Amino acid sequence: MTKMTPLIRIGTRGSKLALIQANETRDRLAAAHDELREDGAIALEIITTTGDRVRDRPLAEIGGKGLFEKEIEDALQERRIDIAVHSLKDCETVAAEGTVIECVLEREDPRDAFLSPVAGNIEQLPEGAVIGTASVRRQALLLHRRPDLKCVLFRGNVDTRLAKLAAGEVDATLLAFAGLKRMGLADQATRVLELDEMPTAVAQGAIGVQCRLADDGPDARIRDWLAAINHEESRLRVTAERSMLATLDGSCRTPIAGLATLDGDGRVTLVGHVAALDGSALHRAEAAGTADEAVEIGARVGQDLIQKAGPDFRV
Protein backbone atom coordinates (compact mmCIF):
# COMPACT_ATOMS: atom_id res chain seq x y z
CA MET A 1 0.00 0.00 0.00
CA THR A 2 1.15 3.55 -0.75
CA LYS A 3 1.98 5.49 2.38
CA MET A 4 -0.23 8.51 2.95
CA THR A 5 1.30 11.95 2.40
CA PRO A 6 1.09 13.74 5.77
CA LEU A 7 -1.49 16.49 6.02
CA ILE A 8 0.53 18.11 8.83
CA ARG A 9 4.26 17.83 9.51
CA ILE A 10 5.09 18.80 13.09
CA GLY A 11 8.54 20.21 13.82
CA THR A 12 9.93 19.53 17.27
CA ARG A 13 13.13 19.21 19.23
CA GLY A 14 14.20 15.65 19.96
CA SER A 15 14.32 15.66 23.75
CA LYS A 16 12.00 13.33 25.62
CA LEU A 17 9.95 16.25 26.94
CA ALA A 18 9.75 17.95 23.53
CA LEU A 19 8.48 14.73 21.95
CA ILE A 20 5.88 14.32 24.69
CA GLN A 21 4.64 17.84 23.92
CA ALA A 22 4.63 17.23 20.16
CA ASN A 23 2.71 13.98 20.64
CA GLU A 24 0.19 15.76 22.85
CA THR A 25 -0.35 18.27 20.04
CA ARG A 26 -0.73 15.45 17.51
CA ASP A 27 -3.22 13.60 19.71
CA ARG A 28 -5.32 16.72 20.29
CA LEU A 29 -5.43 17.45 16.55
CA ALA A 30 -6.43 13.88 15.76
CA ALA A 31 -9.15 13.94 18.42
CA ALA A 32 -10.57 17.17 17.03
CA HIS A 33 -10.55 16.33 13.30
CA ASP A 34 -11.64 13.09 11.63
CA GLU A 35 -9.31 13.53 8.65
CA LEU A 36 -6.28 13.72 10.95
CA ARG A 37 -7.01 10.38 12.62
CA GLU A 38 -5.88 8.35 9.61
CA ASP A 39 -2.55 6.60 9.92
CA GLY A 40 0.16 8.85 8.52
CA ALA A 41 -1.96 12.01 8.46
CA ILE A 42 0.34 13.68 10.99
CA ALA A 43 4.12 13.24 10.92
CA LEU A 44 6.78 14.34 13.41
CA GLU A 45 10.03 15.87 12.17
CA ILE A 46 12.82 16.05 14.76
CA ILE A 47 15.03 19.12 14.41
CA THR A 48 18.21 19.66 16.41
CA THR A 49 18.65 23.24 17.56
CA THR A 50 21.77 25.15 18.58
CA GLY A 51 20.49 25.15 22.14
CA ASP A 52 20.44 21.35 22.04
CA ARG A 53 23.95 21.05 20.62
CA VAL A 54 25.72 23.49 22.96
CA ARG A 55 25.20 22.45 26.56
CA ASP A 56 28.36 23.58 28.33
CA ARG A 57 27.66 27.33 28.35
CA PRO A 58 24.85 29.59 29.56
CA LEU A 59 22.30 30.42 26.85
CA ALA A 60 23.09 34.11 27.22
CA GLU A 61 26.63 33.46 25.99
CA ILE A 62 25.54 31.72 22.80
CA GLY A 63 22.61 33.86 21.74
CA GLY A 64 19.71 33.51 24.17
CA LYS A 65 16.66 31.33 24.49
CA GLY A 66 15.75 31.77 20.82
CA LEU A 67 18.43 29.16 20.11
CA PHE A 68 15.84 26.50 20.97
CA GLU A 69 13.57 27.67 18.15
CA LYS A 70 15.61 29.22 15.31
CA GLU A 71 16.25 26.04 13.30
CA ILE A 72 12.64 24.97 13.77
CA GLU A 73 11.38 28.37 12.60
CA ASP A 74 13.72 28.13 9.59
CA ALA A 75 12.14 24.80 8.69
CA LEU A 76 8.68 26.35 9.02
CA GLN A 77 9.54 29.29 6.78
CA GLU A 78 11.13 26.93 4.23
CA ARG A 79 7.98 24.72 4.24
CA ARG A 80 9.85 21.62 5.43
CA ILE A 81 7.32 21.46 8.27
CA ASP A 82 3.80 22.85 8.65
CA ILE A 83 3.65 23.61 12.38
CA ALA A 84 6.19 23.94 15.17
CA VAL A 85 5.59 22.91 18.78
CA HIS A 86 7.45 24.90 21.43
CA SER A 87 7.73 25.30 25.17
CA LEU A 88 6.57 28.91 25.14
CA LYS A 89 8.93 29.89 27.95
CA ASP A 90 11.81 29.18 25.53
CA CYS A 91 10.41 31.40 22.75
CA GLU A 92 11.25 34.95 21.81
CA THR A 93 8.34 37.37 22.09
CA VAL A 94 8.34 38.07 18.33
CA ALA A 95 7.73 35.14 15.97
CA ALA A 96 9.75 34.70 12.78
CA GLU A 97 8.54 36.68 9.76
CA GLY A 98 5.48 35.18 8.13
CA THR A 99 4.62 33.01 11.14
CA VAL A 100 2.42 33.24 14.22
CA ILE A 101 1.84 31.38 17.50
CA GLU A 102 -1.61 30.25 16.45
CA CYS A 103 -2.70 28.35 19.52
CA VAL A 104 -1.74 27.53 23.08
CA LEU A 105 -2.62 24.17 24.59
CA GLU A 106 -4.11 23.99 28.05
CA ARG A 107 -1.41 25.12 30.43
CA GLU A 108 0.13 22.77 32.94
CA ASP A 109 1.06 23.80 36.49
CA PRO A 110 3.43 26.81 36.05
CA ARG A 111 5.28 26.46 39.36
CA ASP A 112 8.87 25.42 39.96
CA ALA A 113 9.82 22.20 41.72
CA PHE A 114 12.60 22.04 44.31
CA LEU A 115 14.63 18.83 44.21
CA SER A 116 17.18 17.95 46.85
CA PRO A 117 18.46 14.86 48.69
CA VAL A 118 19.64 17.00 51.62
CA ALA A 119 16.79 19.42 52.38
CA GLY A 120 13.01 19.58 52.27
CA ASN A 121 12.89 23.19 51.10
CA ILE A 122 15.10 26.17 50.29
CA GLU A 123 15.28 27.35 53.88
CA GLN A 124 16.55 23.98 55.10
CA LEU A 125 19.56 23.94 52.77
CA PRO A 126 22.84 24.08 54.70
CA GLU A 127 24.84 27.29 54.58
CA GLY A 128 26.83 27.58 51.36
CA ALA A 129 24.88 24.80 49.65
CA VAL A 130 25.48 24.38 45.91
CA ILE A 131 22.45 24.82 43.64
CA GLY A 132 22.54 23.73 40.00
CA THR A 133 20.57 25.93 37.61
CA ALA A 134 20.84 27.43 34.15
CA SER A 135 18.16 30.03 34.90
CA VAL A 136 19.18 33.58 35.88
CA ARG A 137 15.65 34.04 37.26
CA ARG A 138 16.00 31.11 39.62
CA GLN A 139 19.52 32.13 40.58
CA ALA A 140 18.54 35.73 41.38
CA LEU A 141 15.45 34.72 43.36
CA LEU A 142 17.39 32.09 45.31
CA LEU A 143 20.11 34.58 46.19
CA HIS A 144 17.49 37.14 47.19
CA ARG A 145 16.27 34.70 49.84
CA ARG A 146 19.59 33.03 50.63
CA PRO A 147 22.66 35.12 49.71
CA ASP A 148 24.91 32.38 51.11
CA LEU A 149 23.95 29.86 48.43
CA LYS A 150 26.30 29.07 45.56
CA CYS A 151 24.69 28.69 42.13
CA VAL A 152 26.49 26.74 39.38
CA LEU A 153 25.63 26.15 35.71
CA PHE A 154 23.36 23.13 35.31
CA ARG A 155 22.22 22.55 31.73
CA GLY A 156 20.94 19.46 29.92
CA ASN A 157 17.61 17.70 29.59
CA VAL A 158 15.54 16.66 32.60
CA ASP A 159 17.03 13.16 32.84
CA THR A 160 20.56 14.56 32.68
CA ARG A 161 19.90 17.01 35.48
CA LEU A 162 18.27 14.36 37.65
CA ALA A 163 21.29 12.10 37.11
CA LYS A 164 23.69 14.89 38.09
CA LEU A 165 21.65 15.58 41.22
CA ALA A 166 21.64 11.88 42.15
CA ALA A 167 25.41 11.73 41.61
CA GLY A 168 25.87 14.47 44.22
CA GLU A 169 27.23 17.13 41.85
CA VAL A 170 24.96 19.69 43.57
CA ASP A 171 22.91 19.85 46.75
CA ALA A 172 19.72 20.88 44.98
CA THR A 173 18.21 22.02 41.72
CA LEU A 174 14.98 23.57 40.48
CA LEU A 175 12.96 22.36 37.50
CA ALA A 176 9.63 23.28 35.95
CA PHE A 177 7.01 21.13 37.66
CA ALA A 178 5.08 21.02 34.37
CA GLY A 179 7.92 19.15 32.68
CA LEU A 180 8.19 16.65 35.51
CA LYS A 181 4.43 16.02 35.39
CA ARG A 182 4.40 15.53 31.62
CA MET A 183 7.27 13.03 31.91
CA GLY A 184 5.61 11.11 34.73
CA LEU A 185 8.26 12.27 37.20
CA ALA A 186 6.18 14.44 39.53
CA ASP A 187 7.22 12.23 42.44
CA GLN A 188 10.82 13.39 41.96
CA ALA A 189 9.93 16.82 43.34
CA THR A 190 10.95 17.30 46.95
CA ARG A 191 8.61 20.29 47.12
CA VAL A 192 6.50 22.25 44.64
CA LEU A 193 7.31 25.89 45.33
CA GLU A 194 4.50 28.35 45.84
CA LEU A 195 4.57 31.61 43.91
CA ASP A 196 5.64 33.67 46.91
CA GLU A 197 8.65 31.36 47.29
CA MET A 198 9.68 31.33 43.63
CA PRO A 199 7.84 33.58 41.13
CA THR A 200 7.50 31.65 37.90
CA ALA A 201 9.00 32.18 34.45
CA VAL A 202 6.88 33.84 31.78
CA ALA A 203 4.74 31.21 29.97
CA GLN A 204 6.15 28.33 32.02
CA GLY A 205 4.02 25.22 31.58
CA ALA A 206 2.51 26.45 28.28
CA ILE A 207 2.89 24.72 24.91
CA GLY A 208 2.65 27.01 21.89
CA VAL A 209 1.97 25.91 18.31
CA GLN A 210 3.41 28.06 15.54
CA CYS A 211 2.36 28.04 11.89
CA ARG A 212 2.63 30.14 8.77
CA LEU A 213 0.38 33.16 8.30
CA ALA A 214 -2.12 32.73 5.49
CA ASP A 215 -5.74 33.65 4.80
CA ASP A 216 -6.31 30.97 2.16
CA GLY A 217 -4.86 27.70 0.89
CA PRO A 218 -3.33 24.82 2.92
CA ASP A 219 -1.88 27.10 5.61
CA ALA A 220 -5.30 28.60 6.28
CA ARG A 221 -6.72 25.08 6.65
CA ILE A 222 -3.99 24.28 9.19
CA ARG A 223 -4.83 27.45 11.12
CA ASP A 224 -8.46 26.32 11.22
CA TRP A 225 -7.41 22.91 12.52
CA LEU A 226 -5.29 24.55 15.22
CA ALA A 227 -8.10 26.86 16.30
CA ALA A 228 -10.03 23.82 17.49
CA ILE A 229 -7.33 22.84 20.02
CA ASN A 230 -6.55 26.34 21.29
CA HIS A 231 -7.19 26.80 25.04
CA GLU A 232 -8.34 30.39 25.23
CA GLU A 233 -7.71 30.93 28.94
CA SER A 234 -4.12 29.75 28.57
CA ARG A 235 -3.63 31.90 25.47
CA LEU A 236 -4.90 35.03 27.22
CA ARG A 237 -2.69 34.44 30.24
CA VAL A 238 0.52 33.94 28.28
CA THR A 239 -0.38 36.86 26.00
CA ALA A 240 -0.30 39.18 29.01
CA GLU A 241 2.90 37.64 30.33
CA ARG A 242 4.72 37.79 27.00
CA SER A 243 3.57 41.37 26.47
CA MET A 244 5.22 42.27 29.77
CA LEU A 245 8.39 40.47 28.70
CA ALA A 246 8.41 42.30 25.37
CA THR A 247 7.99 45.66 27.13
CA LEU A 248 10.88 44.84 29.43
CA ASP A 249 12.92 43.72 26.41
CA GLY A 250 14.03 40.87 28.63
CA SER A 251 16.80 38.49 27.68
CA CYS A 252 18.38 35.37 29.16
CA ARG A 253 20.60 37.74 31.14
CA THR A 254 17.66 39.48 32.85
CA PRO A 255 15.93 37.83 35.83
CA ILE A 256 12.21 38.26 35.02
CA ALA A 257 9.16 36.46 36.39
CA GLY A 258 5.50 36.86 35.52
CA LEU A 259 2.24 35.03 35.96
CA ALA A 260 -1.23 36.00 34.80
CA THR A 261 -4.50 34.58 36.09
CA LEU A 262 -8.00 34.74 34.65
CA ASP A 263 -10.98 34.82 37.01
CA GLY A 264 -14.56 33.70 36.44
CA ASP A 265 -15.60 37.20 35.40
CA GLY A 266 -13.06 37.25 32.57
CA ARG A 267 -10.63 39.62 34.28
CA VAL A 268 -6.90 39.11 33.75
CA THR A 269 -4.53 39.87 36.63
CA LEU A 270 -0.80 39.90 36.00
CA VAL A 271 1.93 39.97 38.64
CA GLY A 272 5.45 40.60 37.37
CA HIS A 273 8.91 40.73 38.95
CA VAL A 274 12.36 41.95 37.97
CA ALA A 275 15.39 41.06 40.09
CA ALA A 276 19.04 42.04 40.25
CA LEU A 277 21.33 39.24 39.06
CA ASP A 278 22.96 38.99 42.47
CA GLY A 279 19.61 38.92 44.26
CA SER A 280 20.23 42.25 45.97
CA ALA A 281 16.95 43.76 44.69
CA LEU A 282 13.53 42.45 43.73
CA HIS A 283 10.80 44.63 42.21
CA ARG A 284 7.12 43.73 41.88
CA ALA A 285 4.26 45.19 39.83
CA GLU A 286 0.65 44.20 39.26
CA ALA A 287 -2.17 45.22 36.91
CA ALA A 288 -5.60 43.91 35.99
CA GLY A 289 -8.22 44.42 33.31
CA THR A 290 -10.57 42.68 30.92
CA ALA A 291 -9.48 39.74 28.80
CA ASP A 292 -9.34 41.81 25.62
CA GLU A 293 -6.85 44.10 27.35
CA ALA A 294 -4.27 41.33 27.91
CA VAL A 295 -1.59 43.01 25.79
CA GLU A 296 -2.13 46.39 27.45
CA ILE A 297 -2.03 44.80 30.92
CA GLY A 298 1.32 43.24 30.15
CA ALA A 299 2.67 46.53 28.85
CA ARG A 300 1.51 48.37 31.98
CA VAL A 301 3.22 45.90 34.29
CA GLY A 302 6.37 46.07 32.19
CA GLN A 303 6.46 49.88 32.29
CA ASP A 304 5.83 49.87 36.03
CA LEU A 305 8.74 47.48 36.57
CA ILE A 306 11.04 49.64 34.43
CA GLN A 307 10.18 52.66 36.56
CA LYS A 308 10.76 50.77 39.79
CA ALA A 309 13.98 49.03 38.74
CA GLY A 310 15.45 52.00 36.87
CA PRO A 311 16.61 52.25 33.26
CA ASP A 312 19.78 50.22 33.80
CA PHE A 313 18.17 47.03 35.10
CA ARG A 314 18.68 45.22 31.77
CA VAL A 315 21.88 43.18 31.50
Catalytic residue IDs: 90
Cα separation, 72 vs 203, in Å, equals 19
27 to 11, 83, 92, 230: CA distances (angstroms): 15, 14, 26, 13
In 3D space, the residue among 110, 85, 116, 99 whose CA is nearest the CA of residue 21 turns out to be: 85
Q: Output the CA torsion 113→139→250→176 (10° steps).
A: -10
CA angle 258, 103, 207 (to 5 degrees): 55
In 3D space, the residue among 17, 22, 15 whose CA is nearest the CA of residue 180 turns out to be: 17
Instruction: Answer yes or no: are the C-beta atoms of 294 and 244 closer than 8 Å.
Output: no
CA angle 99, 100, 102 (to 5 degrees): 135
CA end-to-end span of the chain, whole Å? 58
